[in-house]
């Protein structure tokens, strides 16, 4: 069973983390262009592709160019209520990431592939392992503690977040994950979380 995790960058000049997860063995690399991402993903023949990027617009938004007060989706609100911080998909630098995520989702779905939206920071919170902002090596060790293999010390935080996305994809296929928000447009996280008070963006 092959699963692809992508820690997608908003623009092609910045690195995108790519992980091919087979069983619990991860193979990672950094990619840049849409062409590279598409080629490596299709070659992997994945059961599911888990992408760290907003893959849908908020309800009431026809496009990113449209200006209105709708910045959060049901999935975003659900995570904020859980105390998991995130950035609205329609604001600031997230706009380019959202546009790229939606574009790649459309391409892969047209090929008949299953695509889900993952949020590695939120997944790491649920799993009880540090986010990259706290300590990259502790994140790596936390993933190893989950049983994941092939995580060399040299891996970048982009690749480790891609591993987290792929692991979420594995849990999704094993029905050990929860879709927050709309069932077909939600954010997928591992089952189980600790609720916090006063969530803030």
| Terminal Cα distance for the chain, rounded | 36
In a domain, 14, yes or no: yes
In a domain, 180, yes or no: yes
- For the stretch 153-188, pLDDT in tens is 999 999 999 999 999 999 999 999 999 988 888 999
- For the stretch 45-91, pLDDT in tens is 999 999 999 998 887 676 776 676 678 888 888 888 888 888 888 77
Instruction: Tell me the whole-structure pTM to 2 decimals.
Output: 0.91
Number of domains making up the chain: 1
In a domain, 198, yes or no: no
In a domain, 195, yes or no: no
CB 4 within 8 A of CB 49: yes
Domain holding 27, by residue range, is 2-190
Look up the CATH number of the domain holding residue 104. 3.30.420
Q: How far apart are CA 55 and CA 2, in angstroms?
A: 21
């Amino acid at each position: 069973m092959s699963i692809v995790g992508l820690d997608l960058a908003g623009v092609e000049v910045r690195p995108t983390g790519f992980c091919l997860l087979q069983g619990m063995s991860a193979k990672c690399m950094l990619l840049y262009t849409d062409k590279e991402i598409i080629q490596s993903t299709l070659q992997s023949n994945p059961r599911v592709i888990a992408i760290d990027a907003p893959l849908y617009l908020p309800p009431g938004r026809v496009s990113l160019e449209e200006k209105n007060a709708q910045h959060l989706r049901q999935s975003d609100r659900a995570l904020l209520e859980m105390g998991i911080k995130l950035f609205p998909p329609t604001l600031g630098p997230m706009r380019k990431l959202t546009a790229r995520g939606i574009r790649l989702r459309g391409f892969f779905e047209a090929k008949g592939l299953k695509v889900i939206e993952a949020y590695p920071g939120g997944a790491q919170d649920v799993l009880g392992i540090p986010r990259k902002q706290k300590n990259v090596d502790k994140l790596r060790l936390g993933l190893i503690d989950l049983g994941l293999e092939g995580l060399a010390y040299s891996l970048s935080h982009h690749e480790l977040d891609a591993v987290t996305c792929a692991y979420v994809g594995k849990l999704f296929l094993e029905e050990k994950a929860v879709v927050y928000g709309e069932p077909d447009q939600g954010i997928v996280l591992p089952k189980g979380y600790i609720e916090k008070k006063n969530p803030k963006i």
